[in-house]
């Protein structure tokens, strides 16, 4: 896709990312929610405080790639980890760890007057906040697994750079869920966030310096979420394009966000403009889908090369076909947009792919010439603190908020 972008298409794509962005208060709300839980787990009478529980964010809130839900009926998914730093795999089963944490999270829920029940998922506990908060928090129980992860990757002569933050997590569908074992499901969300950050660090730091200067503040005082890089903006645009294309997907073929994010981060070449970054990513991301000797797709986790993000494609080939169908559609759509000069034509082109309301809001912002290094500069503010009361409601979870 060696295509020259017009000045109009560049401005429009920047405006589109601005319209997809969430307000700073949403990021602050997510941060406050997991910090509040962390304080509860470390209170003097906590039953697990002696294990040194640490709660931290993972997923799109950590990556800075959260987008607004398609509708008010959908919720933000705040993904977090509760790592018990002083607990070892030889001390508890996965079930015991999850149960211990569940007891404390349930007590937390009751202490905050949260009316919606605690929900147990396959790997996490889900706290459902009040409707006004418009989010829920998934808490993954975990314990340290750095040494084991390093030994495993070393045995296969694979990259071990990120293993220091590796964790073991629980999975209630595993055959050994109720048994003491060294073989726990592996994850490394902190490592992945650091790898992703390494892909944007030059542009991120430059934009933080510009913002700090404009605010007469020190760079160290500027949180990462206050600025948005072209890679993050491109991922946000691609996720919404994916959401619209698979909005009525009844067979669970929607490409997952971790695949889009990983391939986009690999393909990003440090471009400083959203349009340039988006086209470079769409051109280059397919090159990072590897194949094994049997032709099966491999998209390795950069922090744990033994994990294949595309492992389900072999079992469900329709998902691989859906990914490439989506990629070809996105390539065609944004190649078309790149050459357009008229904001109205760009809106007409993108309305079926991104949603009419979003495309029109982007056009309005485009015509006003409004775009900012600040994230969510004009987004509607959310309450900066979690809301704990509730009225029963069954939301439809948006696709791809991970």
pLDDT on residue 251: 76
What residues does 58 pair with on adjacent strands? 79
- Rounded to the nearest 10°, the torsion over CA 275, 222, 127, 173 is 60
pLDDT on residue 371: 57
Q: How many helices (H) and strands (E) does the chain have?
A: 13, 11
3-class secondary-structure state, position 182: coil
List the structure tokens of 176: 């050994």
pLDDT on residue 372: 57
- For residue 280, being part of any structural domain is answered with yes
Biggest CA-to-CA distance, the chain: 64
- For residue 125, being part of any structural domain is answered with yes
CA distances from 145 to 95, 140, 161, 195 (A): 17, 14, 14, 18
pLDDT on residue 392: 35
Q: What are the DSSP E strand ranges found in 67-208?
A: 76-84, 119-120, 125-128, 135-144, 167-169, 186-187
Whether 39 and 140 map to the same domain: the answer is yes
Whether 262 and 164 map to the same domain: the answer is no
- For residue 192, being part of any structural domain is answered with no
Q: How far apart are the first and last CA of the chain?
A: 28
Q: How many domains, the chain? A: 2
- For residue 388, being part of any structural domain is answered with no
Whether 355 and 237 map to the same domain: the answer is yes
pLDDT on residue 393: 33
- For residue 329, being part of any structural domain is answered with yes
Tell me the whole-structure pTM to 2 decimals. 0.91
The CATH number of residue 50's host domain is 3.30.460.10
Q: Classify burial at 248, counting beta carbons within 10 Å of its beta carbon; exposed 0-12, middle 13-18, buried 19 or more.
A: exposed
Domain span including residue 271: 7-21+200-368
How far apart are the C-alpha atoms of 109 and 120, rounded to whole Å?
13
Whether 208 and 357 map to the same domain: the answer is yes
Whether 68 and 132 map to the same domain: the answer is yes
Judge contact between 380 and 22, C-beta under 8 A: no
Whether 279 and 336 map to the same domain: the answer is yes
- For residue 393, being part of any structural domain is answered with no
Residues of the chain with pLDDT under 50: 376-402
CA distances from 148 to 89, 95, 268 (A): 10, 20, 31
- For residue 206, being part of any structural domain is answered with yes
Whether 110 and 127 map to the same domain: the answer is yes
Main-chain dihedrals φ then ψ at residue 383, nearest 5 degrees: -60, 135
List the structure tokens of 354: 């991104």
Q: How far is CA 119 from the centre of its chain?
A: 21
CA atoms within 13 A on the CB side of 11: 15
What residues does 9 pair with on adjacent strands? none
% the chain with pLDDT above 90: 84
């Amino acid at each position: 896709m060696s295509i020259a972008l017009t000045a109009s298409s560049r401005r429009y794509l920047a405006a589109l990312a601005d319209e997809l962005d969430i307000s700073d208060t949403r990021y602050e709300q997510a941060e406050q929610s997991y910090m509040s839980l962390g304080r509860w787990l470390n209170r003097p009478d906590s039953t697990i405080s002696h294990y040194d529980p640490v709660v931290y964010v993972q997923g799109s809130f950590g990556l800075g790639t959260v987008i607004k839900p398609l509708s008010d009926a959908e919720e933000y998914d705040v993904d977090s980890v509760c790592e018990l730093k002083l607990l070892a795999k030889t001390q508890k089963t996965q079930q015991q760890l999850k149960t211990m944490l569940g007891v404390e999270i349930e007590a937390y829920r009751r202490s905050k007057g949260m009316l919606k029940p605690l929900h147990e998922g396959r790997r996490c506990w889900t706290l459902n906040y009040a409707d006004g908060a418009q989010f829920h928090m998934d808490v993954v129980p975990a314990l340290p697994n750095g040494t084991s992860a390093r030994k495993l990757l070393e045995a296969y002569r694979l990259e071990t750079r990120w293993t220091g933050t590796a964790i073991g997590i629980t999975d209630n569908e595993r055959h050994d869920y109720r048994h003491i074992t060294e073989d726990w499901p592996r994850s490394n969300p902190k490592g992945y966030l650091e790898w992703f950050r390494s892909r944007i660090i030059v542009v991120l730091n430059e934009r933080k310096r510009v913002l700090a200067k404009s605010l007469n503040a020190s760079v160290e005082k500027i949180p990462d979420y206050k600025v948005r890089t072209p890679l993050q903006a491109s991922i946000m645009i691609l996720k919404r394009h994916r959401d619209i294309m698979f909005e009525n997907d009844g067979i669970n073929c929607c490409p997952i966000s971790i695949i889009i994010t990983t391939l986009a981060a690999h393909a990003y070449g440090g471009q400083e403009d959203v349009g340039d970054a988006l086209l470079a990513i769409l051109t280059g991301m397919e090159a990072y889908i590897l194949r094994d000797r049997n032709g099966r797709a491999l998209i390795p986790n950069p922090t744990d090369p033994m994990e294949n993000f595309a492992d389900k494609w072999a079992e469900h080939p329709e998902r691989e076909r859906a990914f490439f169908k989506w990629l070809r559609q996105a390539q065609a759509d944004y190649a078309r947009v790149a050459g357009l000069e008229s904001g109205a034509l760009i809106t007409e082109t993108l309305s079926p792919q991104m949603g009419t309301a979003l495309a029109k809001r982007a056009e309005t912002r485009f015509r006003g010439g409004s775009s900012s290094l600040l994230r969510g500069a004009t987004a509607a503010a959310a309450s900066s603190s979690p809301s704990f009361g509730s009225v029963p409601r069954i939301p439809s979870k948006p696709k791809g908020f991970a």
